[in-house]
Amino acid sequence: HFGTEKTRSSPAPQENKMAAVKPAAELNPTPAMESPILDYLKTMEAGLQDRISTLTSHVEDIKLSLSQAMEKADIALENSQTNRENIKLLHENMLTVSDKLMAVETEQKASNLKFRGFPEEAEGTEDLISFIATFIARALKLEEGIYPIITFAARIGSKNNVRRKTPRDILATIPDLRVRRRILQEAQKANIFVHNDQQIDVFPDIPRDALQIRRTLKTTTKQLQAMHQKYRWLPSGKLYVFYKGQHLYAHDEESGQRLLEALQAEVPMEHEEGKKSYKRRNLFPLSPLKSSKLPVYAGSR
């Protein structure tokens, strides 16, 4: 009997197990449960699509802006290159105009000589033209009554300049080239042009820019003299050398160095003792005189 009761009471734990397991219908979401999730995902997807569309639009705008910027950069580069060419051309034109202006100024000043060392009022009451003509005639020991023709003479600069510690130069216009050559040749000698035991320097009237070029190329001209190479100064102020069919020019230190390099490539420097030294040329004119006995125009005081 007791065994039969144990047998009947045994199914109770199985019923508890059955109650612990949920029905399959409760494990799978129903359509009513899926709808909010799908709606949320669709909303998220729509938002992402809008953002992607906005970003895509921004990217396209950036690409367009970059493209326009590149086009502008290309145009600016072309304009820059054009401007560089124009600036280079303008610079070359300016140099050409500068050379022409200096040539004109040199030509205008070619007839002038400067006399330095005369004290102020040395001429006294005498006209400066007569004073300089008489001084030149005595210095060159011309025949009595023979004087160089001078068309203009004047002191250069302001007389009342308190900073001036030396007397003003006298500028004299002597039209005859042969007379100027004779004067400049004799002026290189000592004790020829003397006034009251004071040495008078005579030199050509050269434009300031041309003088600056000559000072800059002083080392170059010294080396040319050591090489026994002839040279001349052009009206434009440039240094000119003709060598074996080549026309060589210099106007600054760099071009002067290139000129020397072109010559030294074929002309070795001579250092032999007893070698005849190169005689310095006159500053103006540029070719040496063959004879010092040049005629002088007759004229009156």
pLDDT at 201: 94
Q: Are 171 and 153 in contact (CB under 8 A)?
A: yes
C-alpha distances (whole Å) from 245 to each of 226, 241, 248, 257 are 21, 10, 10, 19
Written as six digits, the tokens of 96 are: 């050409």
Query: For the chain, what is the mean pLDDT?
Result: 79
Of the candidate ranges 42-46, 80-84, 86-90, 276-280, the one whose mean pLDDT is the lowest: 276-280
pLDDT at 232: 92
* 54: Cα separation from own chain's centroid: 55
Global confidence as pTM: 0.56
Q: Are 108 and 175 in contact (CB under 8 A)?
A: no
**Stronger pLDDT, 53 or 23, i.e. the higher one:** 53
Which range has the top average pLDDT, 2-6, 43-47, 267-271? Answer: 43-47
Q: What is the largest CA-CA distance in the chain?
A: 187
In tens, the pLDDT along 114-143 reads: 999 999 888 888 899 999 999 999 999 999
